[in-house]
Amino acid sequence: MNKPLPPSARSSAAAGLTQAAAQKQFALQVCSECQTVQYPPRDVCGHCLHDQLPWEPVKNTGTVLASCTLHHSNEPYFQDQLPWRIGTVQLDCGPVVIAHLQDALQTGDRTSLRLELDAGQTGVLVAYASHS
């Protein structure tokens, strides 16, 4: 029997996350007009509404704002992985992101993020303890 895969529904704008993860880069959309780093991926800048948002390498460090441990999921993939830790991270480059938490990260901890391919080959954000 095949193991279930993670949910794969993403916007077309989010394809850059998967591409960056496949290239082992940490890249997010950066507005070519105002230089605002965007997350989640979008079609126009959340700051100035410019529509040129190329994917560029950005600083991957930040601070965990909140963490949560999931003990239940309706998704078959996550049911096999529980408990599953997620959290919000304020990136030093600007946006707040939702990431899978590793290394027992807690609120207030410094972290380094990576874009990784999940079991379904989709790019996801994963936060690890900073070693600085």
pLDDT for 87-113, tens place per residue? Answer: 999 999 999 999 999 989 999 999 999
Q: What is the mean pLDDT of residues 45-69?
A: 97
pLDDT of residue 132: 53
pTM (2 decimals)?
0.90
Q: Do the beta carbons of residue 64 and residue 129 sit within 8 Å? A: no
Q: What is the mean pLDDT of the chain?
A: 92
**What is the Cα–Cα distance from 26 to 111, expressed in whole angstroms?**
14
**What is the Cα–Cα distance from 106 to 121, expressed in whole angstroms?**
27
For residue 3, name the pLDDT band (cuts at 50, 70, 90).
confident
Instruction: Look at the alpha carbons of 1, 100, 84, 103 in this order and tell me if their dihedral is positive or negative.
Output: positive
pLDDT of residue 115: 97
pLDDT of residue 88: 98
Give yes or no for residue 48 having a pLDDT over 60.
Answer: yes
Give yes or no for residue 1 having a pLDDT over 70.
Answer: no
**What is the Cα–Cα distance from 6 to 77, expressed in whole angstroms?**
5
**What is the Cα–Cα distance from 50 to 44, expressed in whole angstroms?**
5
21 SS3 class: helix
pLDDT of residue 101: 97
Q: Is 101 exposed, middle or buried (0-12, 13-18, 19+ CB in 10 A)?
A: buried
pLDDT of residue 2: 77
What Rg, from alpha-carbon coordinates, does the chain have?
15
pLDDT of residue 30: 98
Q: For domain 14-129, give the CATH number.
A: 2.40.50
Q: What is the mean pLDDT of residues 7-26?
A: 88
pLDDT of residue 79: 87
Q: Do the beta carbons of residue 123 and residue 116 sit within 8 Å? A: yes
What's the first-to-final CA gap in the chain, in angstroms? 43
